Amino acid sequence: YKIFVPRDFSSISLGADEVADAIKEEAERRGISLELVRNGSRGIYWLEPLVEVQTQEGRVGFRNVSLHDVPSLLDSLIGNNNKNHPLYIGPVDELEYLKRQVRLTFERVGLIDPLSIDEYIKYKGFLALKKALDMKPEDIINEIKRSGLRGRGGAGFPTGIKWETVLKTPSEEKYIVCNADEGDSGTFSDRMIMECDPFLLIEAMTIAGLAVGARRGYIYLRSEYPLAKEVLQEAINIACDRGYLGDDIMGSGKSFEIELYVGAGAYVCGEETALLESLEGKRGIVRPRPPVPAVSGLWGKPTIVNNVVTLATVPWIIREGGENYASYGTDRSKGTLPVQLSGNVKRGGLVEIPFGTTLRELIYDFGGGTYSGRPVKAVQVGGPLGAYLPESMLDIPIDYEAFQKVGGILGHGGIVVFDDTVDLWYMMRFAMEFCARESCGKCTPCRIGSQRGVEVIDKLMKDGTNGKLLTLLEDLMDVMMHTSLCGLGGMAPYPVLSILRNFSEDLGIKKELNI
């Protein structure tokens, strides 16, 4: 028998380790020989711990398995009676939730033991690297440009152009920096890649190194991801031992090394220049631009800074072709986006879909509506700085430009759902409070403005909506948006303004807004 029990942080927090141990002990007690694989999660989190069993019909699943279910699960296995078990959900690949997705970046996630390099290779791992080793740097970059890949960390900047700038900037040393400081609320796609398919990130960073002539890469990992740290470090060691990193990658004579660096929990270090400061051992403060990091980044050298999912998409593009990737998605937002569904939603998890899919499809078809069963009131997309959208706007497609048009951001693809019990005043206040706490302090509009924002909202909450105070709040948001040095202060007004605009009736606001 071959049984799979996930080993990523979310599954473990739901009891996957205890279930795996119990399966092992129970099998030993009964004298059953079985192979227990600790795979990565498929991202169907509402079914975790999801135990899968290899059968002739493929991998079949048992949902939300707890310790007490283990004996009966083994009974079903031995009695060849899986289908009658109350937790049986059939072949996992046939689940609508998975079948409706287009998994390109996440093609392997959940299928294999993350630290088995042989399994990685069996599932098309390192084919892209092998191909890239025979390509000219310009050709690698052209393939990325053809794919239309844009940064999945938040800004949506074209990846190929960033890489081209680094390639064309002359320097003895260049660096690849992976931004793994995934700090947005409701996001976990980077974590899943690192914990469930770490060799993918290693392969991707090595390809980036070949594309721009860098021999060294750094992964800047947030300290809140201890398991990702463990898995990544082990994967780096294995890749070195097996010749996929180091001085002679796959016998090509080319070299690339990766070092893991753990941050200290500052949200602003997800901003690329603050990240570079922190990586250099300094306090994480935003650098003014120009110069951009692609010209003068880590220790003043040309540096690619890309987030985990952006990089993890590169091997698929190199292997299958940029045009193929660009055939998914919309006109300006090409390919797929791994969306993370969370908050008050029935079926939370990772959903990789082509751009153009609507929020409504994601929240109802995939998410199944709210967990509480109450009506959806608001949806926040793009992390703590993202806009709040009402039910009536759920037909908006997942697309960078479409979100810009409604005063929002796609950010890192996190979608948090709220039902009609949400306190929108509190959510507005939270946006300002978050900014005040996480501000790096470099510029006044953000450092002082966010604190004043909290105070004005407190007054509005206490004294009721008052035209003068609302105008003050609007003016403050306008100043923050247009004069802050980086996106933290510049986008913190988005949640506030979107709530004022989209939910004015709920808040009892009669006044026409100026911005």
Of the candidates 90, 441, 467, 471, which one interacts with ligand SF4 according to CB under 6 A? 441
Minimum separation from the CB atom of position 442 to ligand SF4 (A):
4
Minimum separation from the CB atom of position 492 to ligand SF4 (A):
8
Residue 169 engages ligand SF4 in binding (rule: CB under 6 A): no
Residue 488 engages ligand SF4 in binding (rule: CB under 6 A): yes
Of the candidates 10, 169, 336, 439, which one interacts with ligand SF4 according to CB under 6 A? 439
- Contact window for ligand SF4 (CB under 6 A) among 58-66, 75-83, 410-418, 437-445: 437-445
First to last CA, the chain: 63
Rank residues 448 and 472 by Cβ distance to ligand SF4 and give the closer one: 448
**Binding track over 282-321 against ligand SF4, x by CB under 6 A:** ----x-----------------------------------
Per-position DSSP letters for 86-147, written without gaps between them: TTEEEEGGG-HHHHTS--STTSSTTTS-TT-HHHHHHTTTTHHHHHHHTS-HHHHHHHHHHH
Rounded CA gap, 515 and 509, in Å?
A: 15
- Contact window for ligand SF4 (CB under 6 A) among 211-219, 235-243, 397-405, 478-486: 478-486
Rounded CA gap, 403 and 217, in Å?
A: 32
Rank residues 128 and 443 by Cβ distance to ligand SF4 and give the closer one: 443
Rank residues 164 and 272 by Cβ distance to ligand SF4 and give the closer one: 272
Residue 477 engages ligand SF4 in binding (rule: CB under 6 A): no
Residue 486 engages ligand SF4 in binding (rule: CB under 6 A): yes
Minimum separation from the CB atom of position 269 to ligand SF4 (A):
10
Rounded CA gap, 50 and 39, in Å?
A: 11
- Contact window for ligand SF4 (CB under 6 A) among 58-66, 72-80, 198-206, 486-494: 486-494
CA dist 48 to 37, 255, 258, Å?
Answer: 16, 40, 32
Comparing CA positions, the residue from 484, 453, 388 lying closest to residue 186 is 388
Of the candidates 201, 268, 305, 351, which one interacts with ligand SF4 according to CB under 6 A? 268
- Contact window for ligand SF4 (CB under 6 A) among 239-247, 336-344, 379-387, 433-441: 433-441
Comparing CA positions, the residue from 457, 443, 440, 448 lying closest to residue 485 is 443
Minimum separation from the CB atom of position 277 to ligand SF4 (A):
11
Biggest CA–CA distance in the chain, Å, is: 76
* 3-class state of residue 216 by DSSP: strand
Per-position DSSP letters for 258-311, written without gaps between them: EEEEE--S-GGGGSHHHHHHHHTTS---PPPSSSPTTTS-GGGS-EEEEEHHHH
Rank residues 3 and 488 by Cβ distance to ligand SF4 and give the closer one: 488
Comparing CA positions, the residue from 266, 422, 398, 345 lying closest to residue 46 is 345
Rounded CA gap, 243 and 462, in Å?
A: 64
* 3-class state of residue 80 by DSSP: coil
What phi and psi values does residue 46 have, to the nearest 5 degrees? -75, -10
Rank residues 296 and 439 by Cβ distance to ligand SF4 and give the closer one: 439
Rank residues 233 and 451 by Cβ distance to ligand SF4 and give the closer one: 451
Residue 440 engages ligand SF4 in binding (rule: CB under 6 A): yes
Residue 495 engages ligand SF4 in binding (rule: CB under 6 A): no
Of the candidates 23, 104, 176, 443, which one interacts with ligand SF4 according to CB under 6 A? 443
Rounded CA gap, 113 and 108, in Å?
A: 10
Minimum separation from the CB atom of position 379 to ligand SF4 (A):
25
Rank residues 389 and 409 by Cβ distance to ligand SF4 and give the closer one: 409
Q: How many residues bind ligand SF4 (CB under 6 A)?
A: 14
Residue 452 engages ligand SF4 in binding (rule: CB under 6 A): no
Rounded CA gap, 449 and 444, in Å?
A: 7
Residue 442 engages ligand SF4 in binding (rule: CB under 6 A): yes
Of the candidates 204, 351, 446, 491, which one interacts with ligand SF4 according to CB under 6 A? 446
Rounded CA gap, 287 and 274, in Å?
A: 7
43: left (phi over 0), alpha (psi -120 to 50) or beta: left
Contact 431, 380 (CB under 8 A): no
Residue 489 engages ligand SF4 in binding (rule: CB under 6 A): yes
Residue 74 engages ligand SF4 in binding (rule: CB under 6 A): no
Residue 484 engages ligand SF4 in binding (rule: CB under 6 A): yes
> DSSP H helical segments within 44-86, as ranges?
70-78
DSSP, res 358: B
Rank residues 443 and 456 by Cβ distance to ligand SF4 and give the closer one: 443
Q: Which residues in this chain contact ligand SF4 in the complex, by CB under 6 A?
A: 268, 286, 439-443, 446-447, 484-486, 488-489
